[in-house]
Structure 1
Amino acid sequence: MDRRPPVQVFLGILIVGVGLIALLTQLDVVDVNVGQLVADWWPLAVIGVGLVALATVPRAWIGPSVIVAVGVFFLLQTLGILDVHLWEILWPVGIILVGLSLITSIGSRSLDDDTINSTVFWWGSQRKTRSQQFKGGSLTAIMGGIEVDLRDADIVDKAEIAIFALWGGVEVKVPPTWRVRTSGLPLLGGWDDKTTLPLEDGAPELVVHVTAIMGGAEIKS
């Protein structure tokens, strides 16, 4: 049996809950204003998506954390706890995100890096390694793009890459001798695995965990 994506299960339970409350209201079992309930608590869906994304790709924590923060902000607004317009805080948050992307980009960028970590916000990044003991990394693209070239690298047994794409894209190029296993969380986005299965047994394995929210990832040989 195919397992449903966690975010699909979460949103399904949320919608069923709203439907049950509406049904009980129509049957006079409970007295609830469903419209007001949805208007007050809809940001919980945004927070839930962020938390599910964080659980799916914990190594790429910046993107999911941004989604959770946005959901909390909207929830505080709908509940009347916070009286601040979105545009008043949007530009400072943008500056913070740009700073975080710069911080996460600082460090070694040699062609022998065993791990590749990259976070981009409003721009792009190109990374390459020839490490013969590649271990994986974390790639976060928010309204930007990341290209990673691993064609000259090699893996000892297994490596893992966490990808988070929000209104952005990530492309990973791998050697044809690698076995790639991809899974994750698609929400108005997805990923495309264009690799081919290696013929030999015991091929190195690259495990790719993807969270794509109105964005995408492509893995190809």
Structure 2
Amino acid sequence: MKNNNSNDSGIIFGFLIIGVGVLILARKLGFFVPDWIISWPMILVAIGTFTLIKHGFKSFFGSVVLGLGLYFLFEREFGFDFGIERFIFPVALILLGIYLVTQKRKENNILADVQRKMDASMKNLDDQLNSGTSDSTSQGNPFVAKGATFSERLNVDAIFSGVNKRVMTKNFQGGKLTAAFGGIDLDFTQADFNGMVTVQVDVIFGGMKLVVPPHWDVRTEVTNIAAGIEDKRIYREAEVDPQKVLVLKGTVFFGGLEIKSF
């Protein structure tokens, strides 16, 4: 089942390519096609629109690119004089700088949080080794922690370790999942909830797999940096329950996030 709100970017991009091809073909065949439709500002408009649709109209980058495209389109192709051309370059640099600073700060906060958890995890492991005990369900243990959880709110950390659990609660309230140099495998097929719940997902040099019921509406709002996000569900619109919305937010950095259903 595919995410309803996070449109399939490959399909959207494919339709854009088809549209461009049709316009060029029509022009070659002698049909009237305005020059501005296949001008370079329209490329910026298409990229900005594509990016905004892909990110649910919440992309700063997409908004900037779309704005620049529309500005150059109206000024160069339709003769509009906004009188702000001399300000475009410095303002664009300022906006780019603000975007880079905010993104870097966000990444640094995530890395700092993971570093704290890694330090606590290693300390926990040292304590176990010094005491001569080994608990395979401990979060700091390098082995895989398995079992079932009935917690309504999850707080799972896999730091240099693996977590493989089945969520059994019938009143799931969301939570936070962190995988750093480790993996998290959660089975939600026996879980249930009503309304909308949010799960914070942070993956850094790790992997995460979530198995969800086929009727859940899963909305992925995750930032991926040098990472992969795979939604392997089979989309059946008739099965989607609008009263069960799971929102995934967070960052996947040099890792992978996989969503499946059976």
Q: Shorter-chain-normalised TM-score: which range?
A: 0.5 to 0.7
5+ residue gaps, structure 1, are 21-44, 55-60, 70-91
**Aligned-pair Cα RMSD in Å:** 4.0
Secondary structure of 2:111 counterpart = helix
Judge conservation of contact 1:182–1:210 (CA < 8 Å) in 2.
no
Judge conservation of contact 1:178–1:198 (CA < 8 Å) in 2.
no
Judge conservation of contact 2:160–2:181 (CA < 8 Å) in 1.
yes
One-letter amino acid matched to 1:149: D
Among 182, 196, 209, the residue aligned to 1:158: 196
For the residues of structure 1 that align with 2:222 and 2:166, how far apart are their CA atoms?
A: 24
1:169-188 correspondence to structure 2 within 5 Å? 169-188=207-226
Judge conservation of contact 1:166–1:214 (CA < 8 Å) in 2.
yes
Q: Does 1:65 align with 2:108?
A: no
For the residues of structure 2 that align with 1:95 and 1:53, how far apart are their CA atoms?
A: 18
> Residues 213 and 8 from structure 1, CA distance in 2 versus in 1: closer, same or farther, beyond 3 angstroms?
farther
Deviation (angstroms), 1:159: 1.5
> Residues 206 and 94 from structure 1, CA distance in 2 versus in 1: closer, same or farther, beyond 3 angstroms?
closer
- The alignment covers a number of residue pairs equal to 159
Greater helix share, structure number: 2
For the residues of structure 2 that align with 1:151 and 1:214, how far apart are their CA atoms?
A: 27
TM-score by length of 2: 0.49
Secondary structure of 2:112 counterpart = helix
Deviation (angstroms), 1:130: 1.3
The corresponding residue for 2:122 is: 98
1:70-219 correspondence to structure 2 within 5 Å? 95-96=119-120, 98-99=122-123, 105=139, 111-195=149-233, 196-200=235-239, 201-219=241-259
One-letter amino acid matched to 1:215: G
Deviation (angstroms), 1:7: 9.4
Secondary structure of 1:199 counterpart = helix
Give a deviation string over 1:110-167, Cα, whole Å, max 9, x none.
6321122111211111122211111111111111101111110111112111111111
For the residues of structure 2 that align with 1:113 and 1:93, how far apart are their CA atoms?
A: 20
Give a deviation string over 1:179-218, Cα, whole Å, max 9, x none.
1110121110131122234514534111111311111111
> Residues 199 and 66 from structure 1, CA distance in 2 versus in 1: closer, same or farther, beyond 3 angstroms?
same
One-letter amino acid matched to 2:204: L
Judge conservation of contact 1:116–1:127 (CA < 8 Å) in 2.
no
Judge conservation of contact 1:132–1:156 (CA < 8 Å) in 2.
no
Among 105, 110, 113, the residue aligned to 1:51: 105
Higher-Rg member (1/2): 2
> Residues 212 and 6 from structure 1, CA distance in 2 versus in 1: closer, same or farther, beyond 3 angstroms?
farther
TM-score by length of 1: 0.57
One-letter amino acid matched to 2:259: I
For the residues of structure 2 that align with 1:96 and 1:8, how far apart are their CA atoms?
A: 37
For the residues of structure 2 that align with 1:65 and 1:155, how far apart are their CA atoms?
A: 32
> Residues 143 and 161 from structure 1, CA distance in 2 versus in 1: closer, same or farther, beyond 3 angstroms?
same
5+ residue gaps, structure 2, are 1-48, 66-88, 94-99, 128-137, 141-146
